[in-house]
Amino acid sequence: MEIILQIPPQPLTLNEARSMTVLGMDFQNAIITEARDGKLPAQIRFTENDPFPWGQLLQKLAVLWQLSQNDAISKDFRLKNKLPQQIVDLLPQVAEKDSLNVLKQLGSAGFICAFSKF
């Protein structure tokens, strides 16, 4: 299952809004994305310090975790353990500014492979 995000204009995207697919994370905990809009650069790495739509990512993952089979999700973002219902209920309410921290907490708690090294 592809996770497609709308990336805001910034230097990494040559100051253009971009439609990009999240491929996964690399060994340095950067998000690897691939263009869906035919523009260059075609592949971009985003670190936690870059302007990245962490809220979009968290919300799309929350939907995938509830509605998709786990093996249909990129292995970096697959659930290793089932999320407790109280966490599932809270995910839609997470503010954009808190989304990266929530993803880091899910990783460090062992729910997903991604963000486990943050």
| pLDDT tens digit sequence for 52-75 | 999 999 999 999 999 988 888 999
pLDDT at res. 32: 96
Among candidate residues 49, 58, 51, the one with its CA nearest the CA of residue 94: 58
What confidence category does residue 118 fall into, taking pLDDT thresholds of 50, 70 and 90?
Answer: low
Angle at 74 between CA 68 and CA 98, to 5 degrees: 85
What confidence category does residue 117 fall into, taking pLDDT thresholds of 50, 70 and 90?
Answer: low
- H helical segments located in 16-111: 54-67, 85-90, 99-108
pLDDT at res. 34: 97
pLDDT at res. 115: 84
State the average pLDDT for the chain: 93
**Distance between CA atoms of residues 1 and 41, nearest Å:** 23
- H helical segments located in 23-96: 54-67, 85-90
| pTM for the predicted model, two decimal places | 0.92
Residue-wise pLDDT for 88-99, tens only, equals: 999 999 999 999
Query: Cis peptide before 41, with omega less than 30 degrees from 0?
Result: yes
